[in-house]
Structures are given as C-alpha cells and as structure tokens.
Structure 1
C-alpha cells in the first residue's frame, strides 16, 4: 500500500489559523464523541500529553537542543464540544483552515492508493506529524515571535502551548481525490481550547516542573503537568 503524506500543504496553511491576539474560553467535557472512537481519542490525547509532559520535565530535545523545564503546562483532556466543531469541519473535506470557530486548529491530510487504515490510526499519525516540526526545524525560542512562528513549527507549538487544556478532533474519509490521481484522501482536524500561538507570548513558563500551575489545577507529579 502506497501512502503519501504531504506535510507541505499542512505548513502552507499554518499562518491563516494560528496567529492569535485575544483569548477564548469554553467549558470542557471529557465524554466520547465524534468519528474517532474512544481508543482513537485516547491516542490523540496521549500524544499531546506525552509531548507536554516531556517539556514540563525538561527532557524534551528538539533537533539536538534540550528544552528547559516548564512550570505551567496544563494537561490536555478530550472535549465533546470542541470535537463536534472539529468533526463538522472535517466532514467538509477541507483544503484549508476554518474561520471563526474560536479554537486553535491543526490540520493533516493523508493520501493512499490502497485501502485506508482504520480511521482511529490517523489521529496519532497526525499528532506525530505535527510534533515532528520541532525535530525538522528546531525550537530556538520559547517566545513565539514572528520569526519563530514562521520557521515552520506552528502545529508543534499549538500542541505544546501551556494554557491549552482541551482538544477535540474529527476525521473523514473523503474518497478519491481527482487532484491526486484518485488516491483516497483522509482529512484530520484537531481544534484546541484555549487556542495557542499568540504572537510574542511565551509557549510555556520556564521554571521548576509544575511549580506555577494556574488555579484550580494542581501538579500531577507523575506527568509534571497541571491537572
């Protein structure tokens, strides 16, 4: 089975969705919802929390550079309301970012000439693709200035954003794509609350692991995250 991951498309659309200058808040609900099963949802949540945990503990290495530990990284939970929004947008088989959702957003596309894998598998694949930006482009500044954002790590920084506490994702088998020799297209949309990627803001607060957890969260010693 031949699979093609066109990450350049993902990167090309990063600018339209991620640069933020104000904040949004929503209530969270961790019950299962959407096209991803509970197993698929957990895989996505785990991928995000594993990244945030390694950053919080000061063990994360991005292209050879070990990052400083984080004091305020919040643990991610699945949110049905966010998942509804993400699934609704995934159902449109998008070619670019949504507008006006109030959430942060990461997109991922995969094309295959054979039978697609189970849809649940695409959540972790998407998460790994986004995180790989840190390995491909490095992470040289903890402040998301314009240069850092434009370096190509916008999906990874949304995954790592300290204040983001909720995620919901959708997936859609879009069928044959005439622009890609009728290969089967799979679209993944993940949306985030609160959004990350505020220009000139820190991605996380450097300091002793989970030493500055925002109220009402508390330090979860096993992960180093604020939960």
Structure 2
C-alpha cells in the first residue's frame, strides 16, 4: 500500500492550523493556574524538605481583590495583608511586552535564596533582600492564594498571599534536615 502524499498547500494549511491551535492557549493563560503556583512553590520548598502548600480559595480571593485594585497603576505596594487578614504577601511586577507567568514571579522570589544566610538566619546586604524567598519557604505556611492581572498601562502585576504568614523576626523559615507535611 502506498503512503498518501500531501500537497504543499495542504501541508501549509495543516501547519497554520497547528499554529492557531497553539496560540489559542497562550503561555500567560496556561502557566498561571492555581496548580502552577502551588507546584512552583512546592518544588522550591521540596529542595529544603519543607512541607507542601495547598491552594486556598479564601486566600486566593484576597489576592484577586487586591490585584484588581492594583490593575490601574500596578504599583508594587503591599496590601497590608498581615494587618487585614494575617496573610504574608509577595509581589511581582513585569514590564509591558512580556507574558510574565507564575514561574517568572516564583522564580524571582526563590532566586533570593543566595541572599539568605541560613547559619545567621539573615539576609545578606540589606535586611529585606531575601524576604520573598523566606516567605516562600516558611515551613508553617500551609496554604497560598495568588492572582495575576494585566495592568491598564501595560505590564503585569502578580501577588501571592500566604496563610499563615511568615517572616517573623528571629525565627528561621525552616529547619534543615526536617521533612514536614501539609
């Protein structure tokens, strides 16, 4: 039996259809789900044996409401989540023209790992240079909720809230060698 041949025009049409189908699920939509945020946090936490976090719809609602408030200016101003709800908070801002996904935000926060000195339990450089990392890694945090909005003037604003909050002065975010579970 002979293999069917596809004309150049048919092959081009198939290729165009594949491209259109791939574009229907943009990276921004496909990589910002609750599970994406949870998986990224848990991957970072797993490196140090820190227990996993789960998605919490109430925490996410708080994040979504605040992100909606910030969509007009996308200023990286904290919401006051600790005072209002007892949540910790990390913020991320991405400039216009980028897709900016959950991975960009979480990787930036986790990238502060090199600025955290476990032995002295302090940030290197300025006192707050590693606090995004320590919040991600805070072992008593068991739930997160995150939100992403596209800014009116371009760019992206991402916020994650943490329950319970971390970053208590004098306390380590985690103990090395312990494996905790959520």
Task: Calculate the TM-score normalised by the size of structure 1.
Answer: 0.58
Whether the 8 Å contact between 1:142 and 1:203 is mirrored in structure 2 is no
- Runs of 5+ in structure 2 lacking a partner? 1-28
1:73-222 equivalences in 2 (<5 Å): 73-93=50-70, 94-95=74-75, 96-99=77-80, 100-112=84-96, 114=97, 116-117=98-99, 122-135=101-114, 137=115, 139-141=116-118, 144-145=121-122, 150=127, 152-176=129-153, 184-207=154-177, 209-210=178-179, 213=180
Contact 1:41/1:123, CA 8 A, preserved across alignment: no
2:31–2:102 contact (8 Å) kept in structure 1 = no
Q: CA deviation at 1:161?
A: 0.7
User: As a proportion of its length, which structure holds more helix?
Assistant: 2
Moved more, 186-195 or 95-104: 95-104
Structure 2 residue matching 1:168: 3-state secondary structure: strand
For normalisation by structure 2, the TM-score amounts to 0.72
Secondary structure of 1:88's partner? helix
* Alpha-carbon distance in 2 for matches of 1:148, 1:194: 27
8 A contact 1:144–1:199 mirrored in 2: no
**Between Structure 1 and Structure 2, how many residues are aligned?**
148
Aligned pair partner of 1:45 in 26, 31, 38: 38
- The alpha-carbon distance between structure 1 residues 151 and 82, as it changes in their structure 2 partners (threshold 3 A), is closer
Paired position in structure 2 for 1:54: 47
- Who wins on radius of gyration, i.e. which is larger? 2
